[in-house]
Chain A
Amino acid sequence: RQCDGIFGTPVEPLFNNEENGSNAEILQDWLINMAVMNSQIIKSKELPENIFAHGVWAQCVFLMCDRFELPHQTKFAALDIFDRFMTRHINDLYAHVQNSNSSKKKSDWACILDRVKNQAFLRILSCCQIASKLSSHYKVITVKRARKCLLEAGYSYSDESIVQSEMRVLKTLSYNMSGATCLDFIEILLEILVAIFSLPRHCYGESR
């Protein structure tokens, strides 16, 4: 029996746990559900472009989540939030420069991009902070911890700026925080795959 986690709860990632495993019907429903959700995302206009969801950006988000010891689900949620936020944020800024009456739009834009670069670390932290509040209970990134982390990385922000940044992220996303992440899809696929090959018969009973 797996009892290595805190108070006997198993460690993540957890697949086909005999005690908590879902039966075939639930898995099927679950899969169909995720498929429907996926097709809705594809149909909708807000198809994520994943510009910021890979490479060094993703690495930075994950490393920060590691630093705060956040679970996997939170990592991917943070990455999702960050990707959607940055895409929209930059689009907003670009539209703003486009619509302005300034004569030197190009240098304005360069200036804004510089600012975005400088703030990227803070934004990543805010995204991790929001994700941590969404999914876990006692490992929430508080403002104090956030400030400490920023200091370690060589940034000096006040509590106020950290709160403001968090609000800015939420507002830019119009408070749409949770989307389906790739982890959700991987989880269900693995659950089914492993179930097909290795699950003891009694869990599936007649349906097998």
Chain B
Amino acid sequence: MTMTDSASPATAAATPPAILIEDLHKRFGDNEVLKGISLTARDGEVIALIGASGSGKSTLLRCVNLLEVPDSGRVAIAGEEIRMTRDRKGVTRPADRAQVDRIRRSLGMVVQNFNLWTHRTVLENVIEAPVHVLGVPRDEAVARAERLLDKVGLAAKRDAWPSQLSGGQQQRAAIARMLAMEPKVMLFDEPTSALDPELVGEVLRVIQGLAEEGNTMLIVTHEMAFAREVATRIVFLHQGVVEEEGTPEAVFTAARSERCRQFLARETRW
């Protein structure tokens, strides 16, 4: 993808980044998963988060929309910092639930296991949040949902139940559900890890299309070829810290970190 960034330095400074993460820490019991991570995603950037299992990349992604509450550090979406507070036991929690809900509406998320609602058809899954969260009139939401299902190649499946779809179709339906909220930033948490190998391609193609439209994305993935082709920036996490960061070209061909080079050698062996 080509970036045409014609903004002058002055206006670039005035536009807050789509996502700003500063010195994020998160521990589960004795296990410190994130050890002070900072990351900035500007509008239109596609950032691939790579790293071994347990490196903290999924946790980092889930901290962006507060599905995990970080222990310390800052998260700001389009310049709006998510306000945090501590309860009497010292546990961090969001200070304002309504703010979290509002910010989540602007952040789309697609996860490994699709998590379509099994009690609703494909179309009902897609219109649910626009109608009941945003208050979009139903017929308008249906029209938009039909366009989106067409876009992800599921127009014929609008009245199917999630259980009647293949994994790849379910994931594409989940992507349509996310797109229906017209999110400003899209978060993908290993979107193809639960799919049979022959179904991976159809999902990656949809995500690639979204990247080429200029959407801002954070993608946790193990698909190295995909990351290299689609991302504008690669971030390699190792044991809860950013170990390597740069353009796909730089990271894949000339990583400074020995661990990153080893990881890429393992992941791209075949």
Judge: A and B partners, yes or no: no
Q: Which residues of A contact B (CB under 8 A)?
A: none
